[in-house]
Amino acid sequence: MPQHDYDLFVIGGGSGGVRAARVSAQLGKRVAIAEESRFGGTCVIRGCVPKKLFVYASQFAEHFDDAAGYGWTVPDPSFDWPTLISNKDKEIARLETVYETGVQKAGGTTIHSRVSLVDRHTLLIENENRTVTADQILIATGGRPNPHLALPGHQHCIFSDEAFDLPVLPKAIVIAGGGYIAVEFANIFHGLGVETTLLYRGREILSRFDMDLRRHLHQAMERKGIRILCHQVFERIEKRGDGRLEAHMSGGMALTVDQVMLALGRLPNTENLGLDAVGVETGKMGEIVVDDYSRTSVDNIWAIGDVTNRVQLTPVAIHEAMCFVDTVFKGSPTRPDHATVPTAVFSQPEIGTVGLSEDEAGKKFSDLEIYRAVFRPMRNILAGRDERMLMKLVVDAKTRIVVGAHILGPDAGEMAQLLGIAVKARLTKDDFDRTMALHPTAAEELVTMYEPSYRVVNGERPAEYPGPL
C-alpha cells in the first residue's frame, strides 16, 4: 500500500507543470495536476501563442502595402477586431484541451482548483475542500504582470492579460515599459491601426539586448509611426468624464488615450500557497528559491518555470520540467542548463538573438572580432520598403568561437533558433566560413561575412562605430 495518494502532485497547469505531469505519468507514476484557471498557462492562454497570432494579424497592413510593388491591386483593406478575438479564442480553447487531455491520456489526473500546501506532503484542494497527499510536490504556478500599485490611477490601466480580450480596439494607446511585452504590443497595436506611444524609463528600449539591435529597432519603429518616449515614467493616470484616460508623465507632459497598458515585468505567483507554513524559502520578489536541480528548501518540494524567476521563457520551463523528471523519477540528477538561450522579440522588424551581446562579450574577452552587415532584404526592394536588416556575429578573436549572434529583420527568430545550435556547440567563425551559402536568402549573410567589420580590444571599439548606450 503506497504511503501517499500520489507519487507526484503538480501545482500549476502551464507549460512546465503540464510537461512534468505528463512525462511522469508516462513513466507509470501516480500523478495529479491542479490548475486554478485554464490548462495551458500564461504561454498558451495569455502569452506567447495569442501574442504570435496577434503579430501575424498586425503584419497584414504592411503586406497589403508591399503587394503593389509586386503588381497586386489590393482593395481598401479593413480590419475587424472581434473576428480576430473570436478566432484566437477558438485556437486557444483547442490548445487548452490538448494540454489537459495530454496528461489524462498519459494516466494522470487533472484537477480544476486552487491548491495550497498544508504540510510537506499534504495539499488542500480548495474548490473541493479536501486534502490529498503526495510523495513529491512540484510548484509551477508561473507569474503575473507587475500591477505597479504605487502608480496613482493604476486601476485604470490594462496589462498584457487584458490586451488579448479588449472588447473594442482602442484608437490610441500608451504602453509603459521597454521590455519584450511593451515592445511587442507597441508593434501589434500600431500594425492594427492604433495610434501608439511607448514610454520607457531608461535610455534605450530592450536593455538586455545588443546595443545595435536596440538602436536599429528603435529607429525602425519610429519610422513606422510609433512614438517612443525614453527617460519617461508615468506620474498618474486619470479617467476623464468621457471615459478616455489622461496619462501624466514625468516632466509635465500628458497624453489622452483610450487605454494605458503597463508592461513593467512580471511577479512570481507565490501568494497564499502555504509556502511559509511549510518552510519553502522565497526571495525578494516572492520567487521560490531553488538549488541547481530545482529543489526548494524542503527536500520533497520542487519548483520550475517563472515562479522561480530564473529565465522567464516557456522552453526554459519545459526544459526544467524534463530535468526534474530525470532527477526525481529516472535516477539521473540533471541540472537545467540556462546558458546560451536563444530568444526572439516579435517586434516588427523582429529580433532574434543568442549568446553574448557585444558589450557583454567585451567585458569577458580582451579581443573581439565583430562581423556586421546592414542591408535591405530582397523582399523589401520591389515593395519599395526602406527597412534594413541587421546581422552581427561576435567572435572571440583568440579562439575564433562565435560567442554571440544577433539579427534584426524578417524571420530573425527562426534564424536565431538554428544559430542557437551553432553557438551552443561553440562553433568557430571558420566553421561558419566553411558552410556553403544558401542563395538567395537573407540568412546567407551569416556565412559570407569574411572580414571583421571592426575589433573590440579591451572593450574599446573604433570611434566610427556606435559605442555602448
- The residues, any chain, with a CB within 8 Å of residue 63's CB and separated by 6 or more, are none
> DSSP secondary structure string, 178-217?
SSHHHHHHHHHHHHTT-EEEEE-SSSSS-TTS-HHHHHHH
Side chain identity at residue 353, one-letter code: T
Closest contact distance (angstroms) between CB of 153 and ligand NDP is 14
> Which residues share a beta bridge with 40?
none
SS3 state of residue 114:
coil
Closest contact distance (angstroms) between CB of 424 and ligand NDP is 17
Nearer to ligand NDP, 254 or 437 (CB): 254
* H/E run at residue 354: strand 351-355
Nearer to ligand NDP, 177 or 420 (CB): 177
Radius of gyration of the chain (CA): 24
- The residues, any chain, with a CB within 8 Å of residue 105's CB and separated by 6 or more, are none
Q: For the chain, first and last CA: distance in Å?
A: 64
- The residues, any chain, with a CB within 8 Å of residue 322's CB and separated by 6 or more, are 19, 20, 23, 334
Closest contact distance (angstroms) between CB of 329 and ligand NDP is 28
Nearer to ligand NDP, 160 or 380 (CB): 160
- Tell me if residue 439 is catalytic: yes
The C-alpha torsion from 188 through 255 and 265 to 180, rounded to 10°, is 30
The C-alpha torsion from 112 through 117 and 122 to 127, rounded to 10°, is -30
How buried is 67 (Cβ within 10 angstroms: 0-12 exposed, 13-18 middle, 19+ buried)?
A: middle
Nearer to ligand NDP, 121 or 214 (CB): 214
Nearer to ligand NDP, 47 or 108 (CB): 47
Measured CA to CA in angstroms, residue 270 lies from 60, 299, 353 at distances of: 40, 18, 31
Closest contact distance (angstroms) between CB of 240 and ligand NDP is 24
Closest contact distance (angstroms) between CB of 233 and ligand NDP is 5
Count of alpha carbons within 13 angstroms of residue 411, beta-carbon side = 10
Closest contact distance (angstroms) between CB of 144 and ligand NDP is 10
Binding region for ligand NDP (CB under 6 A): 177-182, 184, 200-202, 207, 233, 263-266, 312-313, 343-346
Nearer to ligand NDP, 118 or 166 (CB): 166
Task: Output phi, psi for 328, to 5 deg.
Answer: -90, -40
Nearer to ligand NDP, 216 or 429 (CB): 216
Cβ atoms within 10 Å of 436's Cβ, excluding its own: 8
Closest contact distance (angstroms) between CB of 466 and ligand NDP is 19
- Candidates 4, 121, 319, 439; catalytic one: 439
Active-site residues: which are they? 439
